[in-house]
Amino acid sequence: MTERIYNFSAGPAALPLPVLEQAQKDLISLGDTGIGVLEHSHRSKAFLAVYEAAESLCREIAGVPDNYKVLFLQGGASSQFYMIPMNLLSKDQTADYLVTGSWSKKAVKEAKVFGNVNIACSSEDKNFSYIPEAVSLSEKPAYVHYTSNNTIYGTEFATEPEVPAGVPLICDASSDIFSRPIDISKYGIVYAGAQKNLGPSGMALVIIRDDLIEQGPTDIPTMLQYRTHSEAGSMFNTPPTFGIYVLGQVLQWLKDQGGLEAVQQKNRAKAGKLYDYLEQSSLFKPTAAKQDRSLMNVTFVTGDADLDAQFIAQATAAGLDGLKGHRSVGGMRASIYNAFPEAGVDKLIEMMSQFEKEHAS
Ligand SMILES: *Cc1c(COP(=O)(O)O)cnc(C)c1O
């Protein structure tokens, strides 16, 4: 078998090796059923057990209150960009969006199809390198939407923004879900595309409060109503069965790691090492404002695009893949989600120190 290398990809991203090994077995036969996980009916007893385990692990790990549903929907996080306003925003209402990166902007664009949008804050003036402190909410917003971690720019909200009582707070947590403890009761909806911290692409985990499900219109397509999926337990049509299976395995792995408190400690240690190195480096510089730095996506540059390219090429050759930054920031981005091993961060720092010795003026 080919040796596995360090995969710093922003998404789809590295998954825990024990999960992949288990999946390998379950592809041929899920437990002792003699049928692989991809081949089971979604209504089979064996798959229902997989589904129920995934849902209950999610509830347990995140402490999801009873008045919330856990849904596994198709179309990734981007489909939530329109499904949320389609269900919760009417033409005469305003929704507030905190704009901290291009994913937030994409969410805004979809919301405008259904109602009014108030940009409550934006950090676009400095290429989204920080999280704005001042947020100006509209009079009576239908909801407030924000992106907890800005995958492309390497910034992350330290805590959730304050909203007035009765206003649902909605979070796109695609790139930092379950990387730290979360108080679900503060939210109306938390959603995430699965391919960064949870499993395969194409699926979204949606944790949604009951009253928001009930509030949605009934004259929109059936598949696009939250109530459809809530009433059918995510089984209105064939759900993304493999995605649900992998998510369940990843959550079991997360539980075995000690849960969200423990994984936060590990994430702090991993990212902390990298930022400590960047702080003292005379060659590599972090691009995100210090107080807003992400534990999931660490972005940095040398300030010289040719040197960046040279570093990325050397790293790739040494088995450190996926370090090229997003084109809108340039430089490098190390995506170090829950499943990314600390040894890979050590290797990266070692390579950077070496490169710095050779190139620092
Ligand atoms: C990756 C990402 C998305 C897009 O997810 P898809 O599943 O590709 O639609 C949305 N928001 C954030 C914050 C992301 O990191």
Whether 174 is in the pocket of ligand 1, judged by its Cβ within 6 Å, is yes
Known catalytic residue at 172: yes
Q: What is the CA radius of gyration of the chain?
A: 21
pLDDT of residue 1: 62
Ligand 1 atom 10, closest CA: 77
Is domain 258-358 given the CATH code 3.90.1150.10 in the classification?
yes
Place of tokens 């108080």: 183
Known catalytic residue at 103: yes
- The CA distance from 227 to 44, in Å, is 23
Whether 213 is in the pocket of ligand 1, judged by its Cβ within 6 Å, is no
pLDDT of residue 202: 97
Phi, psi dihedrals of residue 178, rounded to the nearest 5°: 60, 25
Ligand 1 atom 8, closest CA: 76
Place of tokens 């664009």: 109
Q: Specify which residues 190 forms β-bridges with.
A: 171, 207
Place of tokens 């510089």: 285
79, 81, 102, 103: which to mutate for ligand 1, most atoms within 8 A of CB? 103
Whether 76 is in the pocket of ligand 1, judged by its Cβ within 6 Å, is yes
Q: Which atom of ligand 1 is nearest to the CA of 11?
A: 1
Measured in Å, residue 307 CA sits from the centre of ligand 1 at: 29
Residue spans of the chain under pLDDT 70: 1, 361
Ligand 1 atom 12, closest CA: 174
Ligand 1 atom 5, closest CA: 77
Global confidence as pTM:
0.98
Measured in Å, residue 108 CA sits from the centre of ligand 1 at: 14
Structure tokens at 92: 């005469």
Place of tokens 């059918």: 232
- The CA distance from 151 to 155, in Å, is 7
CA atoms within 13 A on the CB side of 326: 19
The overall longest dimension of the chain from CA atoms, in Å, is 65
Whether 11 is in the pocket of ligand 1, judged by its Cβ within 6 Å, is yes
CATH of 18-256 among 3.40.640.10, 1.10.600.10, 3.10.580.10, 3.40.50.10070: 3.40.640.10
From the list 172, 176, 292, 308, the catalytic residue is 172
pLDDT of residue 199: 96
97-115 pLDDT tens trace: 999 999 999 999 999 999 9
DSSP symbols for 205-237: EEEEEHHHHHHS-SSS-GGG-HHHHHHTTT-SS
Q: Which atom of ligand 1 is nearest to the CA of 194?
A: 7
Whether 177 is in the pocket of ligand 1, judged by its Cβ within 6 Å, is no
pLDDT of residue 70: 98
- The CA distance from 276 to 290, in Å, is 11
